[in-house]
Amino acid sequence: MARPIRETPILFGEDARRFLERMQNPEPETPEEREQRLKDYEFMKKAYEIGMAEKRAREAANGGVDPWFDNV
């Protein structure tokens, strides 16, 4: 059984001030980091699309039911 999720701690004092400062002034992303992030995104998007196409093909071949998920 999964463990319960703990409550998010509340920040006070200096911790809260630092957190707000970092949220209001994020570090800029370098062009190289942006390019890598976008390449990673496109890779994962394509993997998802391929997976969904395979799932739809399994469903079409089995009367609308994906046999991979019979026992789920």
CA–CA distance, 48 with 35 (Å, rounded to integer): 20
Q: Which residue has the higher pLDDT, 70 or 23?
A: 23
Q: Answer whether 49's CB lies under 8 Å from 55's CB.
A: no
Structural domain boundaries in the chain = 32-63
pLDDT in tens, 10-64: 999 999 999 999 999 999 999 999 999 999 999 999 999 999 999 899 889 988 8
CA–CA distance, 42 with 24 (Å, rounded to integer): 29
Q: What is the pTM of this model?
A: 0.60
pLDDT in tens, 1-12: 789 999 999 999
Band of pLDDT at residue 71, cut at 50, 70 and 90: low
The confidence score (pLDDT) of residue 30 equals 97
| Distance linking the first and last C-alpha atoms of the chain | 16
User: Three-state SS across 21-48?
Assistant: HHHHCCCCCCHHHHHHHHHHHHHHHHHH
